[in-house]
């Protein structure tokens, strides 16, 4: 018998992007199936774990969610340390959050030395009537940078599991 804390592989995944794009809710939707309408400011870093099974192996994904990155510059290097994957999240209804994706890409490149897997996530797909960034634009950005891309809704849950599964499978294929 294996106990619930047993795992074969553990991967650290950081969730980054401008504040208000839905990082915390993407994480709680994936790990607990929960969504909250309220904006709750993340203080420092929050963690959540989720186990998955890939090819009969137990994978433990350790998710790191942070907020107010500017205020927490001092912890940036520890935030990225040992990360195998990153979700860069923007809000499809807010142009500035997509414009800042470049800055997040740069921060990852400057803060990690290893070959980190990245997925670009356009969140709030349930608000498609308020869309400011077309999926064509984001998907060409992603192909240009050779990273994956998906649109999600932390509210109705669409594509949230797919985004993490895609990222974790990519990470695992490099490590197994
Ligand atoms: P964070 O600052 O990036 O962690 O963003 P939060 O997870 O705190 O979300 C910010 C706000 O956006 C909250 O009011 C959430 O309820 C809302 N929100 C997050 N994801 C979605 C989504 O997919 N659809 C909609 N309609 N609202 C969302």
> Per residue in 155-165, pLDDT tens?
999 999 999 99
pLDDT of residue 69 exceeding 90:
no
Q: What is the sign, positive or negative, of the torsion defined by CA atoms of 172, 72, 47, 40? A: negative
Rounded to a whole number of angstroms, the CA Rg of the chain reads 15
Cα distances from 112 to residues 3, 57, 149, in angstroms, run 33, 26, 20
153 Cβ closer than 6 Å to some ligand 1 atom: yes
Lowest mean pLDDT among 57-71, 85-99, 116-130: 57-71
Q: How far is the CA of 153 from the centre of ligand 1 (A)?
A: 9
Is the CB of 20 inside a 6 Å radius of any atom of ligand 1?
A: yes
Does residue 159 have its Cβ closer than 6 Å to ligand 1?
A: no
Tell me which residue of 51, 42, 44 sits closest to 11, measured CA to CA.
Answer: 51
CA of 74 to the centre of ligand 1 (A): 26
Q: Is this complex scored with an ipTM above 0.95?
A: yes
**What average pLDDT does the segment 93-103 reach?**
97
Q: What pLDDT score does 77 carry?
A: 78
Contact 166, 137 (CB under 8 A): no
pTM of the model: 0.94
Indicate the top mutation candidate among 91, 154, 161, 163 to test ligand 1's pocket, ranked by most ligand atoms within 8 A of CB: 154
pLDDT of residue 128: 93
Share of residues in the chain with pLDDT > 70 (%): 90
Mean pLDDT of 61-89: 82
CA of 34 to the centre of ligand 1 (A): 12
> In the predicted model, what is the mean pLDDT of the chain?
91
Cα–Cα distance for residue pair 134/86, rounded to 1 Å: 22
Q: Is the pLDDT of residue 76 over 80?
A: no
- Two structure tokens written together for 55: 């090819």
d(CA 22, ligand 1 centre) in Å: 4
């Amino acid at each position: 018998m294996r106990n619930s804390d047993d795992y074969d592989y553990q991967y650290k995944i950081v969730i980054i992007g401008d504040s208000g794009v839905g990082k915390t809710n993407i994480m709680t939707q994936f790990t607990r199936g929960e969504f909250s309408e309220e904006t709750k400011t993340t203080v420092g870093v929050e963690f959540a774990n989720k186990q998955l099974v890939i090819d009969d192996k137990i994978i433990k994904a350790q998710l790191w969610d942070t907020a107010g990155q500017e205020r927490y510059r001092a912890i940036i290097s520890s935030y990225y340390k040992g990360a195998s994957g990153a979700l860069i999240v923007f809000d499809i209804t807010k142009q500035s959050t997509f414009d800042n994706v470049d800055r997040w890409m740069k921060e990852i490149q400057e803060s990690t030395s290893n070959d980190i897997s990245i997925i670009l996530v356009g969140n709030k797909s349930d608000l498609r009537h308020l869309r400011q960034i077309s999926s064509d634009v984001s998907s060409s950005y992603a192909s240009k940078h050779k990273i994956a891309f998906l649109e999600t809704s932390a509210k109705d849950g669409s594509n949230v599991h797919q985004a993490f599964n895609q990222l974790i499978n990519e990470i695992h294929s490099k490590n197994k």
